[in-house]
Amino acid sequence: MVEVTKEVLFEELLKLDARAAKTEAALEDLVKFMKDMNRELAEGQAKTEALKRELFKDRFDALGALIG
């Protein structure tokens, strides 16, 4: 059996700390990517809505297609 010493525990803590730092960096990258993607989606949605208003003009009201 392996004897658990303070040194072994300290080495394991250092490994865990390094893994936590990598995970934190990856999470920060993911959050940045998601924010950029949400911004791009919002811009695309705004362009789509503007094109719909331009193409359909008075055929749509605020609630959707006019009936009749």
Domain boundaries, the chain: 27-56
Distance of alpha carbon 62 from alpha carbon 48, whole angstroms = 15
- DSSP of 7-24: HHHHHHHHHHHHHHHHHH
Q: What pairing do the DSSP bridges indicate for beta strands 64-65 and 60-61?
A: antiparallel
Query: For the segment 18-51, what is each residue's pLDDT rounded down to a tens digit?
Result: 999 999 999 999 999 999 999 999 999 999 999 9
Q: Which distant-in-sequence residues (6+ apart) come within 8 Å of 59 by Cβ?
A: 65, 66
Distance of alpha carbon 9 from alpha carbon 19, whole angstroms = 15
Q: What pTM did the predictor assign?
A: 0.62
Q: Return the pLDDT at 62.
A: 57
pLDDT band at 13 (very low <50, low <70, confident <90, very high): very high
